[in-house]
Structure 1
Amino acid sequence: MAAFAPAALSTRVAEAHGGPAHDELVPGSPERVGLSSDRIEDVFARISRRVTDGLFPGAVALIARRGKIVGHRAFGTRVRGQDEPVTLDTLFDLLSITKVLATATSAMILVQDRVLRLNDRVADFVPGFAANGKAAVTVRDMLRYTSGLPLDSQFLDDPDADRVWQRMAEAPLEYVPGTQVLYSDLTYRLLGRVIEEATGTDLDTFAKARIWGPLRMRDTTFNPSPALIPRTAATGYSELRGRVVRGEVQDDQDYALGGIVGCDGVFSTARDIAVFCQMMLNGGRYGGVRILSRQAVDALVANQTPRVRAEDTDVSPLANLLLAPKGYGWELATRRFSNGGMRLGKTAYGKAGGTGTFLWIDPRRELFGVLLTNHGLPTPFDELGWNRMLDAVGSAEFFDGIVNAVMDD
């Protein structure tokens, strides 16, 4: 287990200013960056209409191009049925956006630092993982969702967290690793454990020291403090907890494990996420600080599953999420059923969270959008439930509308 020295690690990534032309985000008018104000207003009006129609309680949306934030709006209420308006600085439960905002990025930082290698065996970090034929599964397999592990394993009947982790580590394979994509919360929970074993600290501490802190993403955290709860949007009702969930990760298994896990648990604001998106567009740096090498950014968002064909797997919205080609953590643009719509460029990449949170980045157009809602997890979480959530939130309409606002394409 490696020793972790936050101050030393944070200092190591600092650089002098003078990087890319769009090094830091600033407000700007749509027309100055080749966007139509009228069409941007139409995008926001459609979100407002959905909130008014009661499809979800509230949202914050942000649109940026070429380093300029051209729109940042809040809608609705933080808690369904209550008069508590969403503000621009409202925190949302991001759920699976955690996979890129924390886990995959942390893993690539450790690869840069030569603490991890992509071909390292997971079993060398997670006790018991070699059980059931998994001895050869690698960090790379986990990053790109080809580990062979099932979509999820929930042990809500077991109150012993250590025993639950052991049962998860020993889970049998569902397919031969590397032969197909299967989006998996279990995979990323265990990848978070690899990162924690490699650094000797929890994922929250590491991400704050190496990603969110250097980027000044001050509202990004696992397990929001009591002081942040009034600014946090509630999601859905938890039967297990017997209450509406607010300031706690909505997934019951992740909550039972303490809320700091590799698949879910990060809370953030649209503005903080925008900084992260601009860092990715800048090739790994923002505000004079380098988080990732350009090579690491390119690897994160490249198609890391070339054996999987989009034409065979992009056959429904849920199949797109679970089975279509992936980067390291990231979803990749496809032509049919992407939650980012049909108009993003071929090199676009993004991530959805099951509570109704989305971000997509189109590098060719130097464009990105962030849509955070407190719709909450679909119940049940199946194909119909996923479709209904996407239809209610309108993520495809949102991102299609952003691209439709581009006037200089």
Structure 2
Amino acid sequence: MCNEHGPFNRRRLLQGLGRTAAVAAFAPAVLSTRLAEAHVQVTHEELAPGRPEAVGLCSERIEDVFARIQRRVNDGLFPGAVALIARRGRIVGHRAFGTRVRGADEPVTLDTLFDVLSITKVLATATSAMILVQDGVLRMNDRVADFIPEFAANGKEAVTVRDMLRYTSGLPLDCHFLDDPDGERVWRRMAESPLEYVPGTQVLYSDLTYRLLGRVIEAAAGVDLDTFAKERIWGPLGMSDTTFNPSAELIARTAATGYSEARGRVLRGEVQDDQDHALGGIVGCDGVFSTARDIAVFCQMILNGGRYGGVRVLSRQAAAAMVNNQTPEVRAEETDLSPITNLLMTPKGYGWELATRRFSHGGSRLTTGSYGKAGGTGCFLWIDRRRELIGVLLTNHGLPTPLDEIGWNRMLDAVGNVEFFDGIVNAALDA
């Protein structure tokens, strides 16, 4: 006993919802505040195995967290999962559950890869953009149209890289052109999309925004997003199982997601979003496959202020800016009204979701300043920076069908992400 101490039309997500109404990220006047808020401490260079009690966690409660995941798998709510819990640089729990393919006798293992869908936005896109800003290749106030000329159409000439990074570009949630087989024409049609609101006046989480931001990064870097992320993020961090478009060798240990009507098959090693697959699978909003261990390494790097294993990926300033509130014009009290409005409209960092009191995908017990990311296939990561606590939950639930508000809520209820993260915090003896 522990003591207390397409077929998927993402625009549908907005149906029935009410609409709510410093350019350089590293400016010196902003930095002192950002760093003070971040509580960044480089104290744990690399993750290593450890006992829960050694880092102030209760073993019995950690086991309870894992038992609840197993119960959901046993009940058929999703085929399989891998969960990882780490604190103060120690991995205190890392478990695999269920099967890689629904109905098959192929157990999930700790090194199983998952289609993490929108977690791509932080694992690849936002971090790559910050690296290019550090390098002086990209600036926060650069106009998107300078890299994608077609983007200037429909009054979008002034939209900046920073607008995109913080989900305030004015672009719609998404648009699909699955009836058009010409990839370059699809990119042009997406770039020409009209604005839905005045840039910088509200948050609207947008796959279209990050899909196009990926194109900006590729234009600035001169290589595709997969190549850049492997060279500057995943390779230096030793994240050898993180990739777009897994090879045949990696597909053998990749978990399948759902059935695609457009492709006529159960998907395994292919990004589930049909539009992203049609564009080649390497895009800024979705497409990364990864393991819980690799994602935990990435999380520890962010928690360490941009450094891990003797390698600095991001400056302290960049790491702090990514996970602090970059949308002060938006009030959580007015937008944190449901799980969907939380995802779409609450304050954001650069790529990251920020913890809120009501409907955070990381539960209600994270401390102020915590941050994380949801992936629509049923994958979640959250970091409580004050507690130095990392939680990663990867499942192969797959995109909800239909992908609307009710479908999203059903997926969350099935996966139990709130129960998972609340349970982790409950295991902290000093919570």
Question: Aligned partners of 1:303 and 1:197: how far apart in 2?
Answer: 27
Task: Work out whether 1:32 is the aligned partner of 2:87.
Answer: no
Structure 2 residue identity aligned to 1:317: P
Give the deviation of 1:21 after TM superposition.
2.8
Letter in 2 for 1:119: N
Quick one: which of 254, 258, 265 aligns to 1:236?
A: 258
Partner in structure 2 of residue 337 of structure 1: 359
**Please, what is the CA RMSD of the aligned residues?**
0.7
Give, in whole Å, the separation in 2 of the partners of 1:96 and 1:286.
23
Matched, 1:134 2:186: no
Match of residue 313 from structure 2:
291
SS at match of 2:81: strand
- Which residue of structure 2 lines up, in the alignment, with residue 114 of structure 1? 136
Q: Name the CA distance, whole Å, in 2 between partners of 1:51 and 1:174.
A: 40
Task: Determine the structure 2 residue equivalent to 1:349.
Answer: 371
Offset of residue 20 of structure 1: 3.2
Aligned match of 1:325 in 338, 342, 347? 347
1:214 aligns with 2:236: yes
Map 1:166-205 → 2, pairs under 5 A: 166-205=188-227
Counterpart for residue 110 of structure 2: 88
Letter in 2 for 1:364: R
SS at match of 2:237: coil
Per-residue CA shift, 1:251-272, capped at 9, x if unaligned? 0000000000000000000000
Q: In 2, distance between residues paired with 1:229 and 1:221?
A: 11
1:275-317 C-alpha deviation (Å, 9 max, x unpaired) = 0010011100000000001100110011000010001000000
Letter of the structure 1 residue corresponding to residue 412 of structure 2 = L
Counterpart residue type for residue 405 of structure 1: A
Deviations 1:171-204 (A, max 9, x none): 0000000000000000000000000000110000
> Could you say what secondary structure the match of 2:184 adopts?
helix
Deviations 1:91-148 (A, max 9, x none): 0000000000000000000000010000000000012000000000000000000000
Gaps of 5+ in 2: 1-40
Deviations 1:309-347 (A, max 9, x none): 001000000010001110000000000011110000111
Q: Which residue of 2 aligns with 1:75?
A: 97
Structure 2 distance, partners of 1:321, 1:72, is 27
**Structure 2 residue 355 is the aligned partner of structure 1 residue 361:** no
Q: How far apart are residue 359 of structure 1 and its match? A: 0.1
TM-score between the two structures when normalised by the length of structure 1: 0.95
Mapped pair 1:105 → 2:127? yes
Q: Which secondary structure does the structure 2 equivalent of 1:246 belong to?
A: coil
**C-alpha distance in structure 1 between counterparts of 2:430 and 2:72, whole Å:** 29
| Aligned: 1:307 with 2:335 | no
Cα deviations by residue, 1:8-45 (Å, 9 ceiling, x for unpaired): xxxxxxxxxxx933100000000000000000000000
Q: Distance in 2 between matches of 1:26 and 1:239?
A: 42
Counterpart of 1:408?
Answer: 430
Runs of 4+, deviation exceeding 3 Å: none
1:214-272: CA deviation from partner (whole Å, max 9, x where unpaired): 00000000000011111000000000000000000000000000000000000000000
Partner of residue 379, structure 1: 401
State the one-letter code of the partner of 1:243: R
2:406 paired with 1:388: no
* Letter aligned with residue 111 of structure 1: V
Report the counterpart of residue 159 of structure 1 in structure 2.
Answer: 181
- Between the aligned partners of 2:430 and 2:54, the Cα distance in structure 1 is 11
Q: Using the alignment, how far apart are the partners of 1:215 and 1:94 within structure 2? A: 18
Paired with 2:257 and 2:278, the residues of 1 have a C-alpha distance of 17
Superposition deviation, residue 408 in structure 1: 1.9
Distance in 1, matches of 2:179 and 2:301, equals: 41
Q: 3-state SS of the aligned residue for 1:328?
A: coil
Matched residues in 2 for 1:281 and 1:311: separation?
Answer: 27
* Equivalent position of 1:144 in the other structure: 166
**What is the aligned partner in structure 2 of residue 399 from structure 1?**
421
Q: Partner residue of 1:224?
A: 246
Q: Counterpart of 1:13?
A: none
User: What amino acid maps onto 1:44 in structure 2?
Assistant: F
Counterpart Cα distance in 2 of 1:119 and 1:379: 38
Aligned position for 1:262: 284
The amino acid of 1:71's aligned partner reads G
Paired amino acid for 2:108: V
> Secondary structure in 1 aligned to 2:422?
helix
2:54 maps to a residue whose letter is R
SS at match of 2:171: coil
Match for 1:242: what amino acid? G
Q: Which of 35, 47, 66 matches 2:69? A: 47
SS at match of 2:356: coil
Match of 1:129, SS state, is helix
In the other structure, the counterpart of 1:279 is: 301
SS class of match (1:234): coil
% identical equivalent positions: 83
The 3-state SS of whatever aligns with 1:300 is helix
CA distance in 1 between counterparts of 2:181 and 2:82 reads 36
2:101 aligned with 1:64, yes or no?
no
Residue of structure 2 equivalent to 1:3: none
Aligned residues: 391
